Amino acid sequence: MPAIRLRIANPLYRSFMAGETAKKENLKIEVCLELGQLPPLAGLEKIFSTDESWSMYRDENEHWIVMAPPVQAEPFWIACFDRRVSQVTIYSRALQPLAGRGKTVDLPLGYPLDQLLLMYFFAPRQGLLAHAAGMEYGDKAFLFTGASGAGKSTFSELLAAAKTGTILSDERMIVREIEGKMIAFGTPWAGTAGIACNGSAPLAGIFLLKHGRENGIKKLAGAEALDRMLPLVSIPWYDPEPMIEIIAFAKRVVAAVPCYEFSFSPEPAAVDFFRNFLKVGS
């Protein structure tokens, strides 16, 4: 097959492309693209299905993600990865070269595949994906987490309007333990505010958001913080081994990083309240 060029169409990914600047010591996943015949799924164990878009299968050595919306006669693509997620093969018959771009095709390495791969990749490597907005402020990172509607994008927009810190994401953040420190990373997975920044900083606080008439912050004990955080972490509840690893790491995170409940009114005064809280300290 003639050589082809690959691209990821979403422009939010551009600042996350390492290119020639990638460091040799960085963690890596090798991704291979196979255009043509799809692999058979007979004999594989189905362990999860969204019933709308993708399903997860496994055998003794590998996991398989099948993107097959009900309206399609066959899967749009199938991705196969080993337990350590060191190598991923994406099979597709549907990818076609882009008009006017020669042998360039869009690589299906966006949502949900990238998040699923990283969820599994970080499970044994002291890392997790959180449903959270994040900000770098004063050389430290702060997470603002909560379910959809809790105010992640709203508070991110308030921070941006007040030119307070650098917003790393308004929807998804990565937390990793590196050399004994919890580090928060921005991601290309933006929410309604459309904010995605390639940056990172030591994690200094986690704030569980809720809308309120007044602004208020209260400290959460470790057990309560963990109970409230776990539903906001990407965890394969259907797959015991990585599930246990991610929960164990989430417990380490809330033990190492102060956690708070942040009730805020969606007005600029909420940013002033938050800055004053950081200035005074907990």
Domain that holds residue 106: 5-122
For residue 130, give the DSSP letter: E
Task: Give the list of residues 6+ apart from residue 162 with CB closer than 8 angstroms, or none.
Answer: 268, 271, 272
Lowest pLDDT segment from 38-52, 57-71, 101-115, 224-238: 101-115
Question: Whole-model pTM above 0.95?
Answer: no
Q: Is the pLDDT confidence value at 23 over 50?
A: yes
Is 34's pLDDT higher than 70? yes
User: Which residues are within 8 A (CB) of 122 and not within 5 positions of it... i.e. 6 or more apart?
Assistant: 128, 129, 174, 176, 246
Cα 164 from Cα 141, distance rounded (Å)? 12
Same domain assignment for residues 91 and 169: no
Residue 113 has a CB neighbour count (10 Å cut-off) of 20
5-19, 20-34, 98-112, 127-141: which has the highest mean pLDDT? 127-141
Are both 205 and 105 inside the same structural domain? no
Last residue of a domain, one of 90, 122, 154: 122
Confidence of residue 1 (pLDDT cuts 50, 70, 90): very low
Type and span of the H or E element at 220? none
Q: Does one domain contain both 136 and 273?
A: yes
> Are 145 and 225 found together in one domain?
yes
Parallel, antiparallel, or unpaired for β 104-106 and 5-7? parallel
Q: Is pLDDT at 22 greater than 60 in this prediction?
A: no
Strands 200-211 and 140-145 turn out to be parallel
Q: What is the pLDDT of residue 218?
A: 96
Q: Is the pLDDT of residue 166 over 60?
A: yes
Any idea which residue has 């492309």 for tokens? 17
pLDDT band at 100 (very low <50, low <70, confident <90, very high): low
Q: Are residues 90 and 151 in the same domain?
A: no
Q: Are 91 and 141 contained in the same domain?
A: no
Among the residue ranges 18-32, 37-51, 185-199, the one predicted with the least confidence is 18-32
Per the CB < 8 A criterion, the answer to whether 148 and 210 are in contact is no
- Is the same domain home to 173 and 61? no
Contact in structure between 134 and 194 (CB atoms under 8 Å): no
Domain boundary among 85, 106, 122: 122
DSSP state of 171: S
Number of domains in the chain: 2
Residue 282 has pLDDT above 80, yes or no: no
The three-state (H, E, C) secondary structure of 15-66, written as one string:
HHCCHHHCCCCCCCCEEEEEECCCCCCCCCEEEEECCCCEEEEECCCEEEEE
Of 55, 90, 122, the last residue of a domain is: 122
Q: What is the average per-residue pLDDT within 96-100?
A: 55
Residues 74 and 136 in one domain: no
Q: Please state, in angstroms and rounded to a whole number, the distance separating the CA atoms of residues 80 and 58.
A: 9
Report the distance separating Cα 121 and Cα 147, nearest Å: 23
Instruction: For residues 129 and 119, give the distance between their C-alpha atoms in angstroms, rounded to a whole number.
Output: 6
How many residues appear in the chain?
282
Distances (CA, A) of 3 to 18, 102, 255: 21, 10, 49
* 113 and 133, same domain (yes or no): no
Asked if residue 12 and residue 56 are part of one domain, the reply reads yes
Predicted confidence band at 159 (pLDDT cuts at 50, 70, 90)?
very high
Do 175 and 272 share a domain, yes or no?
yes
Range list of H helices, 152-262? 152-161, 222-229, 240-256
One domain, residues 111 and 152: no
